[in-house]
């Protein structure tokens, strides 16, 4: 494999790394986000991952970095500089003029949401909505002309459940499984009913409200590690693509480099 692209998505819970050959993600690595690890630690992790997969560092010719954890961005710039000896494309307002989507609030929009919007709009080339089931549950709306017109944010499923468990003395941690009934017969079922069934209503209502404000129904793409958990509402999604953010980063990297 030659002329590979490395896409790095630094999130609040995990750092996800995708290795692309052309437009196909061949390998995905995931590690918990940690402020304690140094650039050397992360460099060793990447070297280990690549060695296990038989990927040579010299084959990586491009890199693109997205981060919603500003404190870790300098660390990862150092990692990539050391490993690859060339600067990555960093998803930031400086590169937005080159993209097919146009964020309205460039200073506040998350880099991961820009990547999601880029991937979705590049595929559909019309108004679309991305629902990302991550640490936060986000709804990113792109208009017909590619303008990223707005975002709605709620606590993610795990975030909501963790907050409830941590702040309540007698509640246990529970698996994220949709229960058969809203009438929980024990504490575990009660939590599953309140969070998971409650969130089905939240997602339905926000999709409905966004479509109403757009004045039309548009493709809805679900992504994020928990996107497959919500079986009762999977019919609301035109597709579920857990690689959407990485695919968006790949598109951003290739697009920006073509202008340079």
Catalytic residue numbers read 112
Q: Residues 6 or more apart from 242 whose CB is under 8 A from it?
A: 223, 224, 225, 227, 228
Q: In the chain, which ranges are E strands?
A: 4-10, 14-21, 24-32, 60-67, 89-90, 102-103, 128-133, 136-142, 147-155, 220-223, 239-240
Pairing of strands 14-21, 102-103: unpaired
Pairing of strands 4-10, 89-90: unpaired
Pairing of strands 60-67, 128-133: unpaired
Q: What is each CA distance from 100 to 125, 138, 157, 230, in whole angstroms?
A: 9, 20, 31, 30
**Whole-number Å distance between alpha carbons of 173 and 135:** 17
Compute, in degrees rounded to 10, the torsion defined by CA atoms 132, 137, 143, 145: -50
Q: Residues 6 or more apart from 217 whose CB is under 8 A from it?
A: 211
Of 135, 132, 181, 139, give the one whose Cα is nearest residue 158: 135
* Four-residue CA torsion sign, 199, 203, 208, 212: positive
């Amino acid at each position: 494999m030659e002329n590979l692209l490395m896409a790095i998505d630094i999130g609040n819970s995990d750092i996800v790394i995708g290795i692309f050959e052309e437009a196909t993600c061949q390998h995905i690595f995931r590690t918990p986000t940690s402020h304690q690890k140094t650039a050397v630690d992360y460099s060793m992790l990447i070297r280990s991952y690549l060695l296990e997969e038989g990927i040579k560092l010299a084959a990586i010719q491009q890199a693109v970095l997205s981060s919603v954890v500003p404190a870790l961005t300098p660390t990862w710039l150092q990692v990539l500089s050391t490993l690859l000896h060339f600067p990555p494309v960093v998803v930031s307002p400086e590169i937005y003029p080159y993209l097919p989507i146009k964020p309205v609030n460039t200073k506040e929009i998350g880099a991961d949401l820009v990547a999601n919007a880029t991937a979705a709009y590049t595929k559909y080339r019309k108004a679309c909505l991305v629902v990302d089931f991550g640490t936060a549950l986000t709804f990113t709306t792109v208009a017909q002309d590619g303008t990223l017109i707005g975002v709605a944010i709620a606590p993610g499923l795990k975030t909501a459940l963790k907050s409830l468990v941590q702040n309540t003395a007698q509640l246990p941690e529970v698996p994220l499984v949709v229960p058969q009934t809203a009438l929980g017969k024990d504490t575990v079922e009660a939590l599953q009913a309140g969070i998971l069934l409650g969130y089905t209503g939240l997602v339905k209502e926000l999709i409905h409200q966004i479509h109403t404000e757009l004045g039309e129904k548009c493709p809805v793409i679900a992504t994020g590690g928990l996107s497959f958990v919500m079986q009762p509402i999977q019919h609301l999604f035109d597709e579920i693509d857990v690689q959407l953010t990485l695919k968006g980063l790949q598109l951003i990297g290739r697009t920006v480099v073509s202008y340079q």
